Amino acid sequence: LPKYDAIIIGAGILGLATAYHIKREKPNQKVLVIDKKPAAGQGNTAKSGGMFRSFFYSKTNFKLANSSIEFYKRLEESGVDLGMRWTGYLWLFQEDQYKRLEADLKEMERRGGEFKLIDRREIEEKLNINTKAGESEEAEIMNLKNIDIGLLVPKAGKIDVEKLVSYYEREFLRMGGEVIYGTEVDEIIVEPEIKLELPGEPYFWQEAKVSGVRVGSKIIRGKKIIVATGVWADQLLDGIGVDSYQKPKKRQIFVVKAEEEKLKRLLYAEGFNREGCIPFTILPYPRIYVKPSIEEEAFWIGYADDFNRPFQLEEDPQPEENYYRYGIYPVLSAYMPQFKDANPINAWAGQYAINTFDGQPVIFEERNLIVVGAASGSGIMKADAIGRIASALYFGREKAELYGGEEFKVEHLGIKNRYVEREEFVI
Ligand SMILES: Cc1cc2nc3c(=O)[nH]c(=O)nc-3n(C[C@H](O)[C@H](O)[C@H](O)COP(=O)(O)OP(=O)(O)OC[C@H]3O[C@@H](n4cnc5c(N)ncnc54)[C@H](O)[C@@H]3O)c2cc1C
């Protein structure tokens, strides 16, 4: 008999949210989470910027993010510290960029998306940045734009990812869930329903299903195996001929301390939010982002480069000094001269697990195997909804109930009957 009802491989945010929701729904389920790292959330979850926003055009994106954010907010209101900071998001645009988005923004507003427009004068006043970068000498080479308008989204900010991981892990353990860390799953075991002891079975005419995992020389049996291994999924799934529909791409974050007065003034810019800091700010082009980290009196800076950045799985990706020096720095300091001569004091790199087709998570089941992944760079802000949908699939339900009561058809994130709305607000 299988020892576990469910074995979840991967204690990242998606594996843990799934584990938590399975136990929450039916505490008598015997659930094991295994991870090769020494503790929970040490894969790409630990590399995250922890930003969230409830502002998307796509109904799919909006439902997943908004319901998760509402859940995290409710937890905080009930006394669980998740380190949520409502900094808001501020997108900066040149007039023509904004004009192209205007119709979609109207529709987003109709759908309940909240935002406020800020004119150039106010941006200059509050941030003291260079709104005329598009007219500078380097503008043509670096494709810089002017800043004419800002789009401020209040229902957005950052969350302490470690605290969120701890919450799901702690509650899962409290409900009797089991974890094994520092243990790599080597293989997913596929066996015939009826064993005939033939060499090399199962054969194609036998009913076969996933029945457990191999860890070294040991086999752990489970009725269902859930693969939530993020960018590493293909290492397990290729061997049994199942596609994970996600590709790894490196992403880097650089931390610049607000040491000088000019950077401090930028960090503690007033008039945007209750936190008394600059919002998470996205430059017009190239869309470098600047995240305030009041706790460290610093900025986290990053950019999601696409073309010419290989899809390449790396166990321990490293930040590239030149990526900051020759990539980010000249652009950043052209728009925000406060960063002139400032160097990062820390940096790291991780990988997005990107669904290259529609950029949305993938959750499907095949012969007792459930795959949960392809969070595509927004797994933290959508984790709760993804966990609920994976749990609904595990229990064989057609619909998941997201936090707040809205229903979500499970197959809409699957493969056969996939239905996701395109994101028009691509920024
Ligand atoms: C630089 C960066 C910035 C980001 N910023 C944001 C952000 O601001 N907001 C946001 O919402 N998202 C952000 N993301 C994305 C977010 O971090 C991911 O979507 C999310 O963490 C994915 O979670 P996961 O559980 O799928 O993967 P992971 O956290 O990678 O978890 C997979 C786990 O599986 C384990 N594993 C793999 N193979 C095996 C095996 N064979 N046996 C045992 N264990 C195994 C790994 O050790 C790992 O712990 C960012 C990502 C990066 C890299």
Are residues 231 and 44 in contact, defined by beta-carbon separation less than 8 angstroms? Answer: yes
Provide the pLDDT for residue 425.
Answer: 87
Check residue 1 and give its pLDDT: 64
Residues 257-307 have pLDDT tens digits of 999 999 999 999 999 999 999 999 999 999 999 999 999 999 999 999 999
Asked if residue 123 has its Cβ within 6 Å of ligand 1, the reply is no
- Counting atoms of ligand 1 from 1, which one is nearest the CA of 35? 44
Measured CA to CA, the distance from residue 248 to residue 355 in angstroms comes to 9
What is the pairing mode between strands 247-257 and 346-354?
antiparallel
- Which DSSP state fits 324? I
For 44-80, the pLDDT digits (tens) are 999 999 999 999 999 999 999 999 999 999 999 999 9
Q: Could you tell me if 51 and 143 are in contact, meaning their C-beta atoms sit under 8 angstroms apart? A: no
Distance from the alpha carbon of residue 220 to the mean position of ligand 1, in angstroms: 24
In short, whether 232's Cβ falls inside 6 Å of ligand 1 is yes
Instruction: Please state, rounded to an integer, the average pLDDT across all residues of the chain.
Output: 97
Is 39 close to ligand 1, i.e. is its CB under 6 Å away?
no
CA of 273 to the centre of ligand 1 (A): 29
**Which strand (E) or helix (H) includes residue 349?**
strand 346-354
Torsion, Cα 316 321 326 331, to 10 degrees, reads 80
384, 312, 298, 287: which is closest to 347 by C-alpha? Answer: 298
pLDDT at 424: 85
